[in-house]
């Protein structure tokens, strides 16, 4: 049987009485948890497939039957150590530590993963951060993103979240949305490369993409490949399920024939990349995601209705506020600086403000920027 090994430094001396009480307590769990004393203040714990709720409630009962300070403190330390184990699963709604025999088919998983990825991890060595110039903090800037980004210092943004123009031929207020694909990608890549430069070490890019399936251009793969090529680290992909099943089944030319069936998609993609490190640091008091939200949203298929008020805002391709708020709560801390390089009518900036993040939104259209400003004003209170 394999176990999760945890080193526990005890607050008080782990004396003989504590050892006896802890041993008889742990024996109740049939070798799913046991310990080896390492010294007067150190214990090695071995945990396998443990029902944590039962463990906690039994710990309280054991404490109630024992008065010695050392024993009480040892039990508290023990519960805290087991509680802090990150790798657990849920069975029948209970928190259950991974059964390493069942779940871990690969031995030394971490070392092997480190070996496989050593050439692509931690490529960015510069961790010094710069301050975003005052005039860009909590601002909507109407300009070409590339020009704006070039004015920003390195390493000053925590998270960039955006939805680039789709290149579907949509009627944006300003600018063509039907470029040749090469031109489209070259312009987009220039903006993404500058975005990488301005991101802090551990900063993130969250990009919502809907490929143009009828052109057979896998935009999400092409963008992801480019980001990998420039040294960004792939954190994951979320499927944004829009449930718009009213799309037609197929074009008549390919109806009910294997010759060229046309696949239909009711979802879009959200690609998440990191600069230099998969971890993004922040203060515990700046976390605003609840336990329930976290449990739901780490399952990377999100069912969210598309934005219904595009006419009212006068923009043909908005993403919904709910999508942005999930991304921000899951991938950023309060007070982080959030950038959107294609801010449109300001969904990102208004959600960032509502969630107590700082923001910078850039869009090339004056009309859209004006709407974004108005939305900010109405989200003030």
Contact footprint for ligand SAM (CB under 6 A): 144-145, 163, 165, 172, 174-175, 315, 317-319, 342, 344-345, 347, 362-365, 368
Helix (H, G, I), strand (E, B) or coil at 261: coil
In the complex, minimum distance from the CB of residue 341 to ligand SAM, in angstroms, rounded to a whole number: 6
In the complex, minimum distance from the CB of residue 298 to ligand SAM, in angstroms, rounded to a whole number: 23
Integer CA distances (angstroms), 233 to 81, 190, 273, 282, 336, in order: 31, 18, 5, 19, 20
In the complex, minimum distance from the CB of residue 347 to ligand SAM, in angstroms, rounded to a whole number: 3
At a CB cut-off of 8 Å and minimum separation 6, what does 89 contact?
96, 97, 98, 103
**Max CA-CA distance within the chain?**
82
The residue (of 128 and 171) whose beta carbon lies closer to ligand SAM is 171
In the complex, minimum distance from the CB of residue 291 to ligand SAM, in angstroms, rounded to a whole number: 29
Question: Which residue is associated with the tokens 């991974």?
Answer: 98
Integer CA distances (angstroms), 355 to 74, 163, 281, 313, in order: 40, 19, 18, 21
Q: Say if residue 284 is exposed, middle or buried (CB neighbours under 10 Å; 0-12, 13-18, 19+).
A: exposed
**In 3D, which of 374, 373, 327, 334 has the Cα closest to residue 354?**
334
Q: Which residue is nearest to ligand SAM (CB)?
A: 344
The residue (of 48 and 167) whose beta carbon lies closer to ligand SAM is 167
Whether the CB-CB separation of 191 and 149 falls below 8 Å is answered with: yes
The residue (of 41 and 267) whose beta carbon lies closer to ligand SAM is 267
The residue (of 175 and 261) whose beta carbon lies closer to ligand SAM is 175
In the complex, minimum distance from the CB of residue 172 to ligand SAM, in angstroms, rounded to a whole number: 5
In the complex, minimum distance from the CB of residue 326 to ligand SAM, in angstroms, rounded to a whole number: 14
In 86-135, the DSSP E strands lie at: 88-91, 94-97
Q: What is the helix (H) or strand (E) element at residue 196, kind and residue range?
A: helix 181-198
β-pair partners for 88: 97
The residue (of 144 and 277) whose beta carbon lies closer to ligand SAM is 144
**In 3D, which of 354, 202, 218 has the Cα closest to residue 279?**
202
The residue (of 175 and 231) whose beta carbon lies closer to ligand SAM is 175
Calpha distance 139→373 (Å, rounded): 9
Calpha distance 381→379 (Å, rounded): 6
In the complex, minimum distance from the CB of residue 136 to ligand SAM, in angstroms, rounded to a whole number: 14
The residue (of 35 and 319) whose beta carbon lies closer to ligand SAM is 319
The residue (of 81 and 206) whose beta carbon lies closer to ligand SAM is 206
Integer CA distances (angstroms), 339 to 137, 156, 241, 298, 316, in order: 10, 10, 24, 22, 21
In the complex, minimum distance from the CB of residue 71 to ligand SAM, in angstroms, rounded to a whole number: 58
């Amino acid at each position: 049987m394999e176990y999760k090994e945890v080193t526990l430094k005890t607050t008080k001396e782990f004396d003989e009485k504590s050892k006896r009480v802890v041993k008889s307590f742990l024996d109740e769990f049939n070798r799913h948890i046991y310990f080896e004393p390492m010294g007067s203040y150190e214990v090695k714990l071995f945990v396998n497939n443990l029902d944590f709720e039962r463990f906690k409630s039994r710990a309280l009962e054991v404490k109630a039957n024992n008065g010695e300070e050392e024993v009480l403190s040892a039990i508290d330390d023990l519960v805290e150590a087991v509680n802090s184990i990150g790798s657990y699963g849920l069975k029948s709604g209970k928190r259950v530590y991974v059964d390493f025999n069942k779940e871990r088919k690969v031995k030394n998983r971490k070392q092997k993963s480190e070996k496989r990825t050593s050439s692509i991890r931690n490529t960015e060595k510069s961790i010094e951060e710069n301050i975003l110039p005052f005039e860009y903090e909590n601002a909507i800037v109407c300009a070409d993103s590339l020009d704006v980004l070039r004015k920003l210092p390195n390493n000053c943004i925590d998270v960039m979240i955006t939805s680039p123009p789709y290149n579907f031929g949509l009627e944006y207020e300003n600018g063509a949305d039907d470029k040749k694909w090469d031109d489209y990608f070259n312009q987009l890549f220039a903006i993404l490369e500058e975005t990488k430069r301005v991101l802090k070490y551990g900063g993130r890019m969250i990009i919502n993409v809907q490929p143009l399936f009828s052109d057979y251009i896998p935009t999400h793969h092409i963008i992801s490949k480019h980001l990998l090529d420039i040294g960004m680290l792939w954190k994951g992909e979320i499927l944004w399920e829009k449930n718009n099943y009213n799309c037609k089944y197929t074009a008549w030319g390919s109806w009910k024939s294997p010759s060229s069936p046309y696949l239909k998609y009711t979802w879009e993609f959200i690609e998440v990349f990191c600069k230099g490190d998969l971890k993004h640091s922040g203060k515990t008091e700046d976390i605003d995601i609840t336990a329930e939200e976290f449990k739901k949203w780490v399952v990377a298929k999100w069912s969210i209705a598309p934005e219904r008020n595009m006419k009212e805002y006068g923009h043909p391709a908005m993403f919904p506020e709910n999508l942005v708020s999930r991304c921000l709560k899951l991938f950023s801390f309060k007070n982080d600086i959030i950038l959107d390089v294609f801010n449109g009518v300001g969904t990102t900036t208004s959600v960032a403000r509502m969630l107590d993040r700082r923001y910078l939104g850039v869009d090339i259209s004056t009309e859209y920027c004006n709407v974004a400003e108005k939305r900010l004003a109405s989200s003030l209170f």
